[in-house]
Structure 1
Amino acid sequence: MELIPTTSVQSFTQELLEKNLPEILTHFKNLGKNLELAILQQPIKVKGGDLVIEVIGSVQEEIAEKMKPDLVGLVRKLTGANSFSVHLEVKEEIQETHQKLYTDRDKMNFLIKKHPALMELAKKFELDTDF
C-alpha cells in the first residue's frame, strides 16, 4: 500500500492579507498601474475566506474586474492560499449636499452664513469680493 502525500491547503485570512498587502501594492506600483493601486488602497477585507474589495462607482468596478486575474494569481503566489475568490462591493459616490461655490461672491456669502460676524468685519474693513 502506497501512501499519497497530502498537501496542506492554506486558508485565506485577514492576517495573511495584511501581511502580504505591502508586497501586492509594490507589485502594482512597479507596473505603473496607478488606478489599480488606488483601488487596492481602499478598504479590503477577508470574509468567509474570500477577498472583498470596496470600489466606488462603475469606473473603479470596471478596472477592478480587469485586475482580478492578476490579483488572484499574485495573492495565491504570495500566500499559498488557493481556495478563495475576489468579490467587489460597489459603493456609490457621495453626492455633495451643498452647491458648488464658483465665484468669490458665492464663497463670501457661504462664509457669512457660517460665521455671521464676518459681515461686520467685511463692512468695517470695506472688503469687496467683486473688485
Structure 2
Amino acid sequence: MRPGQQKPITIEELRTAWFAFAQRKNQEGKVSEYMILNRNFELQNGTEIHLKVDNPVQVEQFNDVKAELLGELRRKLQNNKLNVLVEFVEVVGAKRLYTSIDKYNFLAEKYPALTELKQRLGLDTDF
C-alpha cells in the first residue's frame, strides 16, 4: 500500500472489516471493546466513519483501540485516508431501572394486566 492511497470503499466492505475486528476483540476476551465496536456507524464523505457512544467512558475506551482499528481498516480496505470520529451522545429520557420495584413499576405501567396478575397470584415484587 502506497502512502496516500485512497481506494474507494463501500459501506458493506467497511462493515465486514469493522465487524471482523470487533469479533476478534470479543474472542480475545476484550468485551468492553467489543461492546463499543459492535454498534452501528455511518460513513460520510467516503472516508469519515462516525461512531456514536452513549457513555463518556466509552469514548476513552474507544480511543485506546482506535489506532489499532484504523491501521487494520486502512490496510484491509487499501485507503489511508480513513478516519474514525467518535461522539458521545447522551440518551435523553432513558430512566435506569435499578431496583426490582422500579422494574415492576415500569412493566406494570407498560402492561396493566401485570398488576392484576400480581394480586391474583399473591406475588411479591421484592426478589
Q: Which residue of 1 aligns with 2:113?
A: 115
Give the direction of change, closer, same or farther, for the CA distance of 1:99–1:74 in structure 2 (3 Å limit): closer
1:41-120 paired onto structure 2 within 5 Å: 41-48=38-45, 49-97=47-95, 101-103=99-101, 107=104, 111=108, 114-115=112-113, 118=116
Q: Which whole-Å CA distance do the structure 1 matches of 2:32 and 2:26 have between them?
A: 10
Unaligned runs of 5+ in 1: 1-6
Q: Which whole-Å CA distance do the structure 1 matches of 2:108 and 2:13 have between them?
A: 48
1:76-113 CA-to-partner distances (Å, cap 9, x unmatched) read: 1211111121101212145444876545xx947x7389
Q: Is the Cα–Cα contact under 8 Å of residues 5 and 78 in structure 2 kept in the other structure?
A: no
**Whose Rg is larger?**
1
Q: Is the Cα–Cα contact under 8 Å of residues 12 and 84 in structure 1 kept in the other structure?
A: no
1:126 Cα deviation after fit: 7.8
TM-score by length of 1: 0.67
Aligned length: 119
Q: Which residue of 1 aligns with 2:122?
A: 127
Q: Does 1:32 align with 2:29?
A: yes
1:29-71 CA-to-partner distances (Å, cap 9, x unmatched) read: 3433211111111112211121111211111111011111011
Q: Which residue of 2 aligns with 1:9?
A: 6
Q: Is the Cα–Cα contact under 8 Å of residues 25 and 37 in structure 1 kept in the other structure?
A: yes
3-state SS of the aligned residue for 1:39? helix
Q: Which whole-Å CA distance do the structure 2 matches of 1:35 and 1:116 have between them?
A: 35
TM-score by length of 2: 0.69
The root-mean-square deviation of aligned C-alpha atoms, in Å, is: 3.5
